[in-house]
Structure 1
């Protein structure tokens, strides 16, 4: 008689090589984030031309840029709890379709008011895509390469932003700004249909929710066919002893201070990234006296640095102290930001420094997402990650407004970039402070009774082929 084999989801994934099923998932996640990144920064690329065509003031342009960021903040904070309740896949797919459709509407805008409304609605979809995609990837990634795989996926954001820069530099002069926005809307709709067919639900979520036995069996057969051919039970990796909402778990005493440091650091990082994403082309054009195409290329260099930094930082985080790696790159980023303000008359140097800032700050932001997904338990992982991104989006909203205000006050390029050193330094301090409260408990390791796992009460998913 064959005995029943009992193992956790984490043991199932960690005990096997990274296979084709997971590679497909990472590719789908990467493409989702590529289009999210393209769509999120497309308004920054068209801003100089839009301002010229419509005769917009800095304040009106700031309202258009801020509307999408407000939507992203709300979408991120709502999307995580929804994904922890209903599943990662339905939230990711619906949000990709949602932001694609409203981006198409944005391309048809005829006035500022309509564009503000459409960008707000677009932002609702954009905000939920990154945290829930990264959560899904983290739950299929072996622990030994989790940070790297998350950063591989999320570097799609800056890859999409960089690709958008080169596309914009070609399409805006040739076809006008609406052509770029149309491209940013059509592609997500196509991808959403593909995701419906190919993207799996999280195995950890299915087991934690004790549902979808057929789906669990199909997923196990693709990850570990030798296990699928024998009787087995899957149990949840770690579970709170009390049934609590995901939000209450994120704010529970054992996570509270670590959560606060993640929020503080990510707020500052996104403040800096989005200010540059929204205003760098305008700053380069007006502060340096360059053309629209030259300013778009400088912005593209900032975006190119992101995926390079994401891969390098993720690789390093899997080998050395995550916190010290992130703090170090944020400090280098701070120095590079200060240097940009002093090199506005040297185009090649400006582009090179923009690349370094993108490497450090955009790459570091992806590293912080990997840090967050490893900090919380399964039943609160999407919420913990998405709320960090939601708080970060508030910084992004303020950055768009502050960028418009600084330009309206007549600040020089040097003054603006000197001021931007401050958030980079705060982010480095917050990451190091988080180290004090970071423990392996959220990754499924039970320490000090923080997350006891009552295996008899867990009602594991059992499959007997």
Structure 2
């Protein structure tokens, strides 16, 4: 590769062959979001056991779900701007350490309100880890493979959530619900030293803020060992603009996309967390065992994993917005179908799988879309705040689930209502795509 006077690190990463070093970054971020997914989903799987031990009503469970998700929202809003200011790796490692300690402590809760408070604190760390893993992965992926690699990395979240269901079924039966929180605390604490040693800081961030440029050269050399980087300067177009990264999201060139992404994230995460939080309880109410209810619910995450990979592959080849618009719309259909097949665990598992494929897979794709949409100077903030707004939807879905169950609606009507926000997310992606015609070029991924 010829050596220009000032190397554009974005172009360098886009043009260099995909290296084992970049795969390592994807794997490390995969592990972060897998543990994040395990901890986030754990409360839904242990909720029936908590309800039984503490004699709680569905309405009383609502704040328990909402507290963790409110923490996720707060963590996303807080840690995104901090990451754009202090670095992706620094904030990511701190977030993992933070939620690991908090999850471990929450295992010794003695009352509902104590557990609610600790789940909120755990959520702060979870909310900071996931968007930063997405951002760091995106900034090390070449443009032509970005959607596939980011969605594949984010499959860690759905795999972690699914493993949470499988592990919870056995752990609760043998050791009680507190054991699930212990595992959710120990795993991130074991990962922290690995991240400190092996995970690099984003070179795009370092160049943007003008820090540790010697580290930039060493990192790029690991991506392309044949590149001549002696005495090279580095640049990332466009240069960072003054002011808070939050205000950058409302620049005239980003405002429309920011608002549409926020609406889509809100509706998408409302459906995802309503289903993942309440589905075990709803299925348990039909008379099937707690173990089978957990296994059927785990199919939602399995479907999301498969969907993320397939949709990420399609997004790199077709108009990403239209792929997500179609998938979100189908999510509404399959979610409504769940309400008609709850009497059969097998049919319910199939419907739950395809609902997860479409809505959870689409949310993974939407994360990749948001990471590609924003430039380096506000990318972590853009991804984090889109997730933060989405967490408002997740809180509404989780808390509202208890209220919906209290209305006494039949299963078909209940799940039709749950599917409507997914269709609205699909329409939002369609509108966003029409504002950016031209297939893959719809994602302005070359913004640094």
Fold similarity call, TM over 0.5 = yes
**Long gaps (5+) in structure 2:** none
Alignment of 1:43-442 (within 5 A): 43-228=43-228, 230-239=230-239, 242-286=241-285, 288-438=286-436, 442=444
d(CA) in 1 for partners of 2:402, 2:74: 22
- Equivalent pairs counted in the alignment come to 443
d(CA) in 2 for partners of 1:3, 1:177: 58
Superposed CA RMSD in Å reads 1.6
Query: Is the CA contact 1:283–1:413 (under 8 Å) kept in the aligned structure 2?
Result: no
Q: C-alpha displacement at 1:105, in angstroms?
A: 1.0
d(CA) in 1 for partners of 2:129, 2:259: 22
Query: Is the CA contact 1:76–1:387 (under 8 Å) kept in the aligned structure 2?
Result: yes
d(CA) in 2 for partners of 1:125, 1:444: 30
Deviations 1:426-455 (A, max 9, x none): 000111111244476842359xxxxxxxxx
Alignment of 1:10-21 (within 5 A): 10-21=10-21
d(CA) in 1 for partners of 2:363, 2:338: 20
**Residues 92 and 370 of structure 1: CA distance in aligned 2, closer, same or farther (over 3 Å):** same
Q: C-alpha displacement at 1:244, in angstroms?
A: 3.0
Q: C-alpha displacement at 1:131, in angstroms?
A: 1.1
Q: C-alpha displacement at 1:39, in angstroms?
A: 0.2
d(CA) in 1 for partners of 2:321, 2:91: 30
Q: C-alpha displacement at 1:7, in angstroms?
A: 2.1
d(CA) in 1 for partners of 2:4, 2:368: 35
Deviations 1:103-156 (A, max 9, x none): 011111010111011000000001111111111011000000000111011111
Q: C-alpha displacement at 1:237, in angstroms?
A: 2.7
Deviations 1:267-317 (A, max 9, x none): 00000000011000001111x211100100011111111110010000100
**Residues 118 and 228 of structure 1: CA distance in aligned 2, closer, same or farther (over 3 Å):** farther
d(CA) in 1 for partners of 2:372, 2:224: 23
d(CA) in 2 for partners of 1:200, 1:408: 49
**Residues 292 and 4 of structure 1: CA distance in aligned 2, closer, same or farther (over 3 Å):** closer
**Residues 3 and 66 of structure 1: CA distance in aligned 2, closer, same or farther (over 3 Å):** closer
Query: Is the CA contact 2:38–2:163 (under 8 Å) kept in the aligned structure 1?
Result: yes
Deviations 1:4-38 (A, max 9, x none): 64320111111111101101100000000000000
Q: C-alpha displacement at 1:225, in angstroms?
A: 2.4
Q: C-alpha displacement at 1:224, in angstroms?
A: 2.0
d(CA) in 1 for partners of 2:407, 2:270: 19
1:234 partner SS: strand
d(CA) in 2 for partners of 1:136, 1:39: 21
Alignment of 1:26-45 (within 5 A): 26-45=26-45
d(CA) in 2 for partners of 1:3, 1:350: 58
d(CA) in 1 for partners of 2:37, 2:3: 49
d(CA) in 2 for partners of 1:55, 1:337: 30
Deviations 1:53-85 (A, max 9, x none): 111121221111110000000100111100000
d(CA) in 1 for partners of 2:178, 2:297: 19
1:254 partner SS: coil
**Long gaps (5+) in structure 1:** 447-465
Query: Is the CA contact 2:330–2:358 (under 8 Å) kept in the aligned structure 1?
Result: yes
d(CA) in 2 for partners of 1:304, 1:351: 10
Query: Is the CA contact 1:220–1:228 (under 8 Å) kept in the aligned structure 2?
Result: no
